[in-house]
Structure 1
Amino acid sequence: MKIDNVQLANELRAFFRASLVDRVKERPVESPSQRRRRRIVVSISFVLGATALGAALNVEPGQSLFYIATLGVAVIWAVGAFASGPLSRGRSRTRQGKRNGLAMLQGFILGGSLLAVFLLGAMVVGQVSALRGPVDDLFEHVLFGNIAIVAAITAINGVCEELFFRGAVYAAMPRRWEIVGSALIYTLSTALTGVPLLSFAALCLGLLTGAQRRVTGGVLGPIVSHLTWSLGMLFLLPHALSIGDVLW
């Protein structure tokens, strides 16, 4: 069946409304004591996790300590997430309005879309030495390490980050700040790494997954988006930077 431009535009509009705009269910109301507990646990976990992340990414490339340190960061995020209170998997709304989806396909499409934007941007931004240098330093861990282990750790950290930032942190925020606030705190957690583009990526990813969290009421969709984006960047960003070097 042939789809014209109008039909395509309607399909895209319906998809983005279902995945990023229309809530499947309202956010549960928590008691003051539950909210207080979340905020205390989130605050402690954030300080520990951000400090550990900065230390982990400053480990010399090729050292096994890097793997241990990054897994330690994931443990901090996961423990903080589950200790803060209940977490929900969430449900998604289909384009037809049904509320029985798991948001996995939506997460894959949204994460892939963000990945495509970042890869295209990397071809240009990668030519700015002040921004390119810290990224190259970060990717030395991949060049000197085992790519399979690095990919596994990237996936584990992605899951744990979403459990914490779109689970615990999001739930601890006032309703009007739930998306922006959780994204800003996620961005702040990367400040000690000294990689400006990593902080910018955290902000963009945090806003996207925060919107998903708002719509689905859970962390499954954000996890899929995060994994799609982060693993795609791990394997494809070096190639995008090389293409940019040739083009420019």
Structure 2
Amino acid sequence: MTERPGPAARPLFLRRPALAQLAVLVVLAGGVGLLHLSFASPPGSTRFYGLSLALAAVWLIGGLLVPVDLWPVPRRSRARTFVAPVMAGLLLAVIFVIGAILVDRLPVLGDGLSGVFGYAARGLLPLVLLITVINAVAEELFFRGALWRLTRPGHRYAVTTLLYVLATIATGHPLLVFAAAVLGLVTGRLRQVTGGVLAPILAHSTWSVIMLLAVPPLTT
């Protein structure tokens, strides 16, 4: 007969809800502050790169608050594990790229678009691309990983998506806030369906890379 693990075997933050909530608030506050500062920095500046890497570190630390399931449940096929999330990110990126081309034709929204992607156009693209992927992975480990597990089961989808959107407001770019809402809904659903955080990571990273490579050349 297998002996069930006692309470002491559970991670600290799952045994101490108040401590977990405090840690999440600290991570969110730190992430929001660094997000604001990074987007307030000049594109291509050393300060922007440093703050962006610091932001990724904060989300990553937050994502390690509790153990999370990286892989989906064993019964999922390899295609659903890897291909489906990448295709979801690709489809979402195509829709957003088309939207960006249309938005670029509107003077007010077009200025906002150039403000967002100016970091790719005026910065060192390989480095910006690397930082973007690192941040995408770290964000998913925190929002669809640790934060997801620390939230009550019936509220995980709504709460993690809402907090992700609220955190993105710190960028000061309404277009990014809108993108965060759509992306949060998609990656949250992938987290529900697969039972792991790998699918959200793959979809988010795919979306980020395509947007970064495709939008600036098509809207300048």
TM-score (norm 2): 0.87
Q: State the percentage of identical aligned residues.
A: 33
How far is the alpha carbon of 1:39 from its aligned partner?
Answer: 2.4
Contact 1:125 1:131 in 2 (8 A): yes
Q: Which residue of the other structure, out of 55, 58, 68, is the alignment partner of 1:87?
A: 68
1:42-53 alignment runs, 5 A limit: 42-53=24-35
The one-letter code matched in structure 2 to 1:39 is: Q
Contact 1:38 1:85 in 2 (8 A): no
- 1:231 equivalenced with 2:209 (yes/no): yes
Q: Which residue of the other structure, out of 42, 52, 55, is the alignment partner of 1:70?
A: 52
Name the counterpart of 2:76.
99
Secondary structure class of the residue paired with 1:103: helix
Q: Which residue of the other structure, out of 129, 133, 140, is the alignment partner of 1:151?
A: 129
The one-letter code matched in structure 2 to 1:146 is: L
The one-letter code matched in structure 2 to 1:86 is: P
The one-letter code matched in structure 1 to 2:187 is: T
Could you list the per-position Cα deviations for residues 44-82 of structure 1 after superposition, in whole angstroms to 9, with x for gaps in the alignment?
100110111011011012311111010000000001110
How far is the alpha carbon of 1:182 from its aligned partner?
Answer: 0.7
TM-score (norm 1): 0.78
Could you list the per-position Cα deviations for residues 189-238 of structure 1 after superposition, in whole angstroms to 9, with x for gaps in the alignment?
11121110101101111110001111112111100000100010000012
How far is the alpha carbon of 1:34 from its aligned partner?
Answer: 4.7
How far is the alpha carbon of 1:87 from its aligned partner?
Answer: 1.1
Name the counterpart of 2:179.
201
How far is the alpha carbon of 1:167 from its aligned partner?
Answer: 0.5
More helix by share: 2
Q: Give the gaps of 5 or more residues in structure 1.
A: 1-28, 243-248
Aligned mates of 1:124, 1:74 — CA distance in 2: 31
Aligned mates of 1:123, 1:103 — CA distance in 2: 31
Matched pairs, number: 209
- 1:60 equivalenced with 2:42 (yes/no): yes
Aligned mates of 2:132, 2:143 — CA distance in 1: 16
Change (3 A) 1:238 1:143: closer
**RMSD of the TM alignment (CA)?**
2.1
The one-letter code matched in structure 1 to 2:172 is: G
Contact 1:92 1:103 in 2 (8 A): no
